[in-house]
Structure 1
C-alpha cells in the first residue's frame, strides 16, 4: 500500500490533504467531520485584524460613540479572541489531526500577544495570512516584503509552535521572499492566499465582489511558483493553495515540490465529504501504477534544472506553446 504520510512545518500528517482556512472549518463539529473522512490537517478560519476594525467602527457609529474608540476596539478584539481560542480548544478535543490556527494581519501590534495565547490554547501551528495590496506610488515595493519578515521575526520570538506564512502572488520574486522567510524562522510557506475578487456591476454602477471560489485554471500559477521556489529554496516546506480542484491537481502539486495541499473551493457545496476519500484513493492508485511507494519519493520530481536560465526557459516554453497552437 502506498505511504501517503508527509511532513509539513514539522508536523507529521497522515496525508497531504489540508482543509484550508474558510467557513468550512469554523466549528469543532465541522472539523471533527473532516477528521473522520480522512483529511491530513485543518486550518481554522483567519481572525482578521481588519474585520475587528470594521466591527468596532460599526458599533461606534450605531451607538454614536465619539470618545472611547479604543475601549470599543479592545472589547471587540478580546471577544473575538476568546471565541477563537474556544474554537481551537473545541477542535483539538474533537480531532486527532493537527489543528492550525490562522490570523490575517497587516501589522504586528497586538498579534504578538495573541500568538502566545493561540499556542497556549493548543494549536499545533500558526498560519500567518499576511496580505495587503500596496498601491501607494510613494511606497517602496520592498516595504511589503519587510513587513512580512518583521511579523515573522516577532511571532517566532514568542511561540514555540511552527509558524507558517501564507503569501501573496503579488511579489515579483517569490523564491527570494520564501528564502528570507526561511532565514527568519518560518517553518513553511503557503503559495498562495486568494486575493479578494473585485468586479463592477455596470447596471448599478458600483464596485462589487467577484466569484469567491477559485477555478481549476488558477492552479497554473500555483504549480509554476511551487516548482520555481522548491527547486531554489531547499529546506522549507511548501503548501500549494488556490486552484486545486481534483486529485490530479494534488498529484501535480506534489510532483513540483509541495509537501501538502490546501483545498477549499473543491469542497463546496455538497461534495466535500466525498471528495477527500475519493481523492486519497485515486492518488494511492496512481502512485501504485507509477511504482511510487511514498509521497516522499514523488515530491519535487519536476523541479526545473538549476543550470537552466529561468527567464530563457520560460520564454522558450511560451514560444513553443504558441508555435504549436492553431
Structure 2
C-alpha cells in the first residue's frame, strides 16, 4: 500500500501537502475544509510586524489629538498592541481545537523586536511549530550583505530563545550564497527552511500613474527557481527539512519538488484558484505516479534527483545553461 506520510519539523504528517500562510488560513472553517481534502498541516495567516506597528501608530496618533495625558496614550498604545496580538492567538487556539493535523504559526518580521512575547503566546495557544517569514529589502547603500544576513540570524535567535517549539525560516532567493545562508540558519537552530517566499511585487498603472500590486498568484512556470535551489540545498546541506514553495499548482509539481529533495510542499495560489478539492486531485496524482514506479513510500524517491556527488551536479548549474543556448542559437 502506498504511504504518503512524512516527518517535517519533528512533526508526523500524513502527507507532504502543507497549506501555506495566506488569507485562506485565517478562517477555521477553511482550515477544516483543507484538512478534509488531504492537507497534512496548516500554516496560519502571518502576523506582520508592520501590522502591529501600524495599528498602534494609527490609534495613538488619533488619540494624541484628543488626550494630553502621556499616561493615557501609553495605555492606549499597549492595549492596541495586545489586542492585535490576541486576535492572532485566538485563531491559533480555535484551529487547534477544530483540527487534528498540526497547526503552524507564522510571524512575518523585518527586525527581532516584538517576537519574544509573541513566540511565548503562540506556544501557549497550542501551536505545533513556528515559521518565521523574514523579508528584508536592502535599501541602505552603507549596509553590507553580511550585515543584512545577520539580521535574519538575529530574528531566528530571538524567537528560538523564547520557545521550545521547532522553528522554520521562510526566505527569499535574494542571497549571494543561498547554500551558506541555509547552513547558517541550521547552525543557529532552524529546523526547516522554506524556499521561497513569494513577496509582494509592485507594478505601475500608466493610465493613473500610480503604483499598484502586480499579479498576486503564482503559476507553474515559477516552479523552476525553487526547484533548482531545493535540489542544490538538499544535496549540500544535511540535517534541515526543506519546504518547497511558489509555483506548485498540481501533482506533477509536487512530484518534481520531492524528487529534487523537498521534505514537504507548501501550496497557496492553486487553492485560491481551484479550491480545497485541488488537494484531493494532487494526492491522487502523486499516489498513481508512485504506484506506476512501485514506490511504497516517499522516502524511496525523495531527493533522487537532488544535486549530490552521485549525480552530475552541473544539471542544476551553469553547464546546462551553456549547452541549452549553444544548441538553440
TM bin, normalised by shorter chain, reads over 0.9
Q: Does 1:284 align with 2:287?
A: yes
Q: Distance in 2 between matches of 1:313 and 1:117?
A: 42
Indicate the residue corresponding to 1:125 in structure 2. 129
Q: Comparing 242-251 with 71-80, which one deviates more in the overlay? A: 71-80
Indicate the residue corresponding to 2:158 in structure 1. 154
Indicate the residue corresponding to 1:272 in structure 2. 275
Indicate the residue corresponding to 2:11 in structure 1. 11
Structure 1 residue matching 2:277: 3-state secondary structure: helix
**Aligned residue pairs: how many?**
325
**Selected match of 1:256 from 240, 243, 260:** 260
- In the superposition, relative to structure 1, how do residues 289 and 106 fare at CA in structure 2: closer, same or farther (>3 Å)? same
CA-CA distance at 1:232 after TM superposition:
0.3
**Selected match of 2:141 from 126, 137, 140:** 137
Q: Is the 8 A contact 2:17 2:264 kept in 1?
A: yes
Q: Distance in 2 between matches of 1:215 and 1:53?
A: 32
CA-CA distance at 1:47 after TM superposition:
0.2
CA-CA distance at 1:57 after TM superposition:
3.0
Structure 1 residue matching 2:156: 3-state secondary structure: helix
- Unaligned runs of at least 5 residues, structure 2: none
With the length of structure 2 as denominator, give the TM-score of the two structures.
Answer: 0.93
Structure 1 residue matching 2:137: 3-state secondary structure: coil
Indicate the residue corresponding to 1:297 in structure 2. 300
**Selected match of 2:185 from 181, 184, 197:** 181
Indicate the residue corresponding to 1:22 in structure 2. 22
Q: Distance in 2 between matches of 1:193 and 1:285?
A: 29
Deviation beyond 3 Å, 4+ runs, structure 1: 60-73, 305-313
Q: Distance in 2 between matches of 1:304 and 1:112?
A: 37
Q: Is the 8 A contact 1:216 1:243 kept in 2?
A: yes
Structure 1 residue matching 2:116: 3-state secondary structure: helix
Indicate the residue corresponding to 1:172 in structure 2. 176
CA RMSD of aligned residues (A): 1.9
Partner deviation per Cα, 1:46-85 (whole Å, 9 max, x = no partner): 0001122222333345455487565444233211111111
Q: Distance in 1 between matches of 2:74 and 2:309?
A: 52
Q: Distance in 2 between matches of 1:2 and 1:37?
A: 18
Q: Write the mapping of 1:63-102 to structure 2, written as runs, cut at 5 A.
A: 63=63, 65=65, 71-102=75-106
- In the superposition, relative to structure 1, how do residues 144 and 307 fare at CA in structure 2: closer, same or farther (>3 Å)? farther
- In the superposition, relative to structure 1, how do residues 312 and 262 fare at CA in structure 2: closer, same or farther (>3 Å)? closer
Q: Distance in 1 between matches of 2:277 and 2:137?
A: 36
- Unaligned runs of at least 5 residues, structure 1: none
With the length of structure 1 as denominator, give the TM-score of the two structures.
Answer: 0.94
Structure 2 residue matching 1:292: 3-state secondary structure: coil
Partner deviation per Cα, 1:17-44 (whole Å, 9 max, x = no partner): 0010001110222111111111010000
Indicate the residue corresponding to 2:51 in structure 1. 51
